[in-house]
Structure 1
């Protein structure tokens, strides 16, 4: 499916975004720019009317060789903080349901576009190691520590879940609160065949065309991704597939940890090999809590309410009860 001619063009926005100070008095002015307002409206992130007392910042942060696009929301007296980490092909503006969940529970929020995704810089959807994703998260946590306080929870969808797992093993308990994984990625569905295609292609091909599949029961969301989201890259990086292959190998080599994390997984997920992923993550985290959602597809953050609501209810119980 091709991008609709009516879809907005945000290609100039990465250069317009100012660098964040993580100071609401300074960063709040960034939201007033006309192009930024159009971007927030298009993705439903113009939340000022719904949460009038919450300060919002939009901008970018220089992390290593990347300019990382970030959003944050800061209630007057938050009870804690939630960092939201998106999945492959995604970007942070698609996570408004997770932002609303956090703000309704009086949590401050940090979201950002992973390197090569959305409004962040870097070759599109290319990475040489999943370690890079976790290191970007760690630097953002360090840069924003003075603003968000000591209790730092996290929610990761798909590759975002892999980022949080990588971060846990390599950076320890820098996330001091609880962590929830939505359909976390270790390997994708159909990897048995795909690995042979990768072995044949990776020396000669850098990208292959992307196929859009229905990752949610929400037909409006599926259509939006395929035809109305100008930040959706329409090719798959073969180099990224190699990094994912190494991620699986590295993860299986790591020692067992006793941390208690939450994994929420739908049985209708056709994107990741959830049976394999659940087995591998469960071996490394024997105290893992698992919530299975019968019939739910992959993109739990953007599922229909009959699946999305139980997913966030599981997070609510895990975080607060």
Structure 2
């Protein structure tokens, strides 16, 4: 067992709740932050589990000594807080207090691996984490969400607009790539099949990152059929969501082969007419 695997097992088995006030996880978390490349110089790192709808959610806070705003960072499918270390490091270095949590079934959080019954649960977690931990009356609060995280955010923005002062969506998911083929393919899968193999597309120009993902013990190597069903169901629901005047910055790569970015950008602009969409030439899904 690699040191990181031992550390992750210790964190999951100890189940210390947020904010951790004990030294029991110090060594394990040091291994975690080193492995994922999270820089903690002059950063107060708080972490631990919170219970939401009787399920464990692993929450982390990265707080510089001085900061200008608070950011809630929400990752995408298969990923977790550690996957976003480059962005966390950039934001904390530029004076932002960053909060992030692992989605249900992802990373260190509880739940069936990379699976969900309904995207509504994702929304409930985002709302509860925001209201109980992230919101600070003394600083503006921003939301930065990638892929599936952006899909979850779309629920909030259309139903509870202006919860956040500013919102940034990175490669947002509405429909996945080759959407209609996916629907047809799903119908051909026998009901007793619960997972299908994950194919590692070249979704970034960073070769080191691409290799690292395959070795990351918190990644999963199969796609949950239940999660696909939840995505299809959510797509039917989101069609009837009301428009919102919330202003949103969307950053999208034009070489993305993970999401149907042309449809998604048009859909988001329809639901959020004030959105500003920036296309990045040559960029993939992992911006």
Q: TM-score normalized by structure 2?
A: 0.93
Aligned counterpart, 1:203: 191
Match status 1:63 vs 2:52: yes
Preserved contact between residue 86 and residue 159 of structure 1 (Cα < 8 Å): yes
Match of 2:40 among 45, 48, 66: 48
Distance (Å, rounded) in 1 between the aligned partners of 2:46 and 2:152: 23
Aligned counterpart, 1:160: 149
Aligned positions, number: 285
Residue 225 of structure 1: how far off its partner (Å):
0.5
Kindly report the root-mean-square deviation, in angstroms, between the aligned alpha carbons of the 2 structures.
1.9
Residue 100 of structure 1: how far off its partner (Å):
1.9
Match of 1:193 among 181, 189, 192: 181
> Any residues of structure 2 matched to 1:1-321 within 5 Å, and which?
8-9=4-5, 10-21=8-19, 27=20, 29=22, 33-45=26-38, 47-49=39-41, 52=42, 54-145=43-134, 149-175=138-164, 177-201=165-189, 203-226=191-214, 228-300=215-287
Distance (Å, rounded) in 2 between the aligned partners of 1:8 and 1:76: 28
Q: 1:105-152 CA distances to partner (integer Å, 9 max, x unpaired)? A: 311110110000000000001111111111101111122157684521
Moved more, 152-161 or 76-85: 76-85
Relative to structure 1, the CA distance from residue 55 to residue 235 in structure 2 (aligned partners, 3 Å threshold; closer, same or farther) is same
Structure 1: unaligned runs, 5 residues or longer: 22-26, 301-321
Relative to structure 1, the CA distance from residue 255 to residue 171 in structure 2 (aligned partners, 3 Å threshold; closer, same or farther) is closer
Moved more, 132-141 or 195-204: 195-204
Residue 15 of structure 1: how far off its partner (Å):
2.1
Q: 1:244-273 CA distances to partner (integer Å, 9 max, x unpaired)? A: 111222111112111110100000101101
Runs (4 or more) in structure 1 with deviation over 6 Å come to none
Give the secondary structure class of the aligned counterpart of 1:287: coil
Preserved contact between residue 108 and residue 148 of structure 1 (Cα < 8 Å): no
Relative to structure 1, the CA distance from residue 237 to residue 7 in structure 2 (aligned partners, 3 Å threshold; closer, same or farther) is farther
Preserved contact between residue 31 and residue 56 of structure 1 (Cα < 8 Å): no
